[in-house]
């Protein structure tokens, strides 16, 4: 299934170029009491809700996908975990001082991978927006780059997840944009501004994608292809990232793992539109303002 959140927090099932409004299904969510559990309440109950969504869609009103405002399909992620330097050609291009600014240099220094050296990092959950919300540049006097990547959405939470179990913890996938301002600050500041984590256009449930480790993807700005690669080029693959993240953080339903970006990161400015596409996931246009 392709599940979206749209307009005024409506729930939609995307079929072709239409959205079927299945918001009524949300009435089946268990009531919450304080303290509210960590994670996204909808994603935590997704397994129960999927057959209800399918049933509701049979008689639901439909409208063109192009006519709705797409919000992030995850409303309440407890955290966004991101992987730095996880494609070799991006490691190579990061030797450019305009990218590294003398910090987070791309050399491994004897470590097996850049992630073994630098670890994963967190992005602020309040920075997550949907395709239609767009990106607001927070440092207009500095270089702000696009970084497209496959985003993994955790379904079943856990800690110290074994590699052989990792893929069972995935609810689905989406396109992720890890927007980045270049500079000397820590990644968790330069990448965590409001609207600097774009997720969309919807959540594609895990059963729809047989091999997320072999997906073509690209981003264009105007008519120019900026980044183009395949997830088979990941240095640390998806199960590895889940294992590494869950050793440090308890993962909760709706947590987002940004798997890393390939070479071709480049600047965007207000007025640009980023066209993003990942095979079997979808495509989205994201405006910069």
pLDDT for residue 9:
97
> Between residues 93 and 132, which one has the greater pLDDT?
132
Distance separating the N- and C-terminal Cα atoms of the chain: 31
User: Are 65 and 131 contacting, i.e. CB atoms less than 8 angstroms apart?
Assistant: no
What is the band of 110 on the pLDDT scale with cuts at 50, 70, 90? Answer: confident
What is the band of 120 on the pLDDT scale with cuts at 50, 70, 90? Answer: very high
User: Are 144 and 267 contacting, i.e. CB atoms less than 8 angstroms apart?
Assistant: yes
Residue 115: is it exposed, middle or buried by C-beta count within 10 angstroms (0-12/13-18/19+)?
buried
pLDDT for residue 108:
72
Percent of the chain with pLDDT over 90: 92
* Rounded CA separation 188/191 (Å): 6
pLDDT for residue 199:
98
Preceding omega of 201 cis (within 30 degrees of 0): yes
pLDDT for residue 133:
98
User: Are 166 and 84 contacting, i.e. CB atoms less than 8 angstroms apart?
Assistant: no
Question: What is residue 181's three-state secondary structure?
Answer: strand
> Between residues 106 and 217, which one has the greater pLDDT?
217
DSSP string, 218-262: EEEETTEEEEEEEGGGBSS-HHHHHHHHHHHS-B-TT-EEE----
User: Are 164 and 140 contacting, i.e. CB atoms less than 8 angstroms apart?
Assistant: no
Radius of gyration of the chain (CA): 18
For the stretch 189-207, pLDDT in tens is 999 999 999 999 999 999 9
In whole angstroms, how far apart are CA 270 and each of 25, 90, 93, 147, 267? 38, 24, 24, 16, 10
Quick one: average pLDDT of 222-244? 97
pLDDT for residue 167:
98
What is the band of 101 on the pLDDT scale with cuts at 50, 70, 90? Answer: confident
For residue 74, is pLDDT > 80?
A: yes
User: How does the average pLDDT of the chain come out, rounded?
Assistant: 96
Residue 276: is it exposed, middle or buried by C-beta count within 10 angstroms (0-12/13-18/19+)?
buried
Quick one: average pLDDT of 28-56? 97
> Between residues 250 and 109, which one has the greater pLDDT?
250
The tokens of 10 are what?
């409506």
Q: Read off the pTM.
A: 0.96
For residue 113, is pLDDT > 90?
A: yes
DSSP string, 1-25: -EEEEETTTEEEEEETTEEEE-GGG
> Between residues 269 and 91, which one has the greater pLDDT?
269
Helix, strand, coil percentages in the chain from 3-state DSSP, rounded to 5:
25, 35, 45
């Amino acid at each position: 299934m392709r599940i979206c959140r749209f307009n005024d927090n409506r729930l939609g099932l995307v079929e072709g170029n239409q959205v079927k409004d299945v918001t009524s299904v949300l009435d089946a969510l268990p009531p919450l009491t304080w303290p509210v559990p960590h994670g996204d309440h909808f994603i935590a109950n997704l397994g129960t809700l999927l057959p209800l969504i399918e049933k509701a869609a049979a008689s639901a009103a439909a409208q063109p996908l192009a006519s709705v405002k797409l919000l992030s399909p995850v409303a309440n992620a407890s955290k966004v975990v991101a992987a730095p330097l996880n494609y070799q050609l991006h490691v190579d291009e990061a030797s450019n001082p305009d990218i590294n600014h003398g910090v987070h240099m791309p050399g491994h220094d004897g470590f097996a991978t850049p992630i073994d050296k630098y670890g994963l990092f967190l992005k602020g959950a309040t920075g997550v927006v949907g395709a239609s919300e767009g990106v607001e540049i927070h440092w207009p006097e500095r270089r702000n780059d696009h970084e497209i990547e496959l985003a993994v959405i955790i379904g079943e939470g856990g800690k110290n997840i074994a590699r052989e179990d990792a893929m069972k913890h995935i609810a689905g996938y989406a396109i992720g944009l890890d927007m980045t301002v270049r500079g000397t600050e820590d990644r968790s500041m330069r990448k965590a501004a409001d609207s600097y984590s774009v997720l969309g256009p919807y959540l594609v449930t895990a059963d729809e994608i047989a091999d997320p480790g072999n997906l073509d993807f690209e981003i264009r700005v105007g008519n120019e292809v900026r980044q183009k690669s395949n997830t088979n080029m990941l240095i640390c693959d998806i199960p590895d990232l889940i294992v590494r993240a869950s050793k440090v953080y308890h993962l909760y339903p709706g947590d987002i793992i940004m798997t890393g970006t390939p070479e071709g990161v480049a600047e965007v400015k207000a007025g640009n539109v980023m066209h993003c596409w990942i095979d079997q996931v979808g495509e989205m246009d994201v405006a910069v303002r």
